[in-house]
Amino acid sequence: MIEFSSQNDFVLDDEERVEKWLKGIALKESYGIDSLSYVFCSDDFLLDINKRFLDHDTLTDIVTFDYTENKILNGEIYISTDRVADNAEQFKVSFNTELLRVISHGLLHMCGYGDKTEEEKKKMRAMEDECLILWNV
């Protein structure tokens, strides 16, 4: 089950298509999905989570709490729509493209992809690009 909710006024378009896309990504990575919760929120809301749970005092576009076991995805993914909008402008892409990139980023973390080293970041970006291609197929 994949759930989408908002702590701000954001409304995700075409939830059914996004859910099907995420299930396809998980399957491609040989994972099943038990329960994923995507929560769209403001910078302030996510900054509070970042401070309280991760001891980070920085703005971020996503925080993922991963409870995955035995190739079955379980977790909570918080996404700042404020950061997504700013990043879309900075990277000169549409809001929707950046949102899909971030949505897939959280799932990819849960599938074992990291982004701490330059090599991991490069692989993560390549995987995000593959996910965006799957969206457009």
Q: Can you state the percent helix, strand and coil of the chain, rounding each to 5?
A: 55, 20, 25
The domains located in the chain, with CATH, are 2-136 (3.40.390.30)
Question: What is the pLDDT averaged over residues 32-40?
Answer: 97
State pLDDT tens for residues 60-111: 899 999 999 999 999 999 999 999 999 999 999 999 999 999 999 999 999 9
**Does 14 carry a binding-site annotation?**
no
Residue 91 structure tokens = 């990277």
Q: Are 75 and 68 in contact (CB under 8 A)?
A: yes
State pLDDT tens for residues 40-61: 999 999 999 988 887 778 888 9
User: 80 has which bridge partners?
Assistant: 41
Question: What is the pLDDT averaged over residues 113-132?
Answer: 95
Residue 21 has pLDDT above 90, yes or no: yes
**Does 56 carry a binding-site annotation?**
no
Query: What was the pLDDT predicted at 137?
Result: 62
Q: What is the 3-state secondary structure (H, E, C) of 58-120?
A: CCCCEEEEECCECCEEEEEEEEEHHHHHHHHHHHCCCHHHHHHHHHHHHHHHHCCCCCCCHHH
**Does 105 carry a binding-site annotation?**
yes
* Helix orientation angle between 43-54 and 81-91, rounded to the nearest 10 degrees: 110
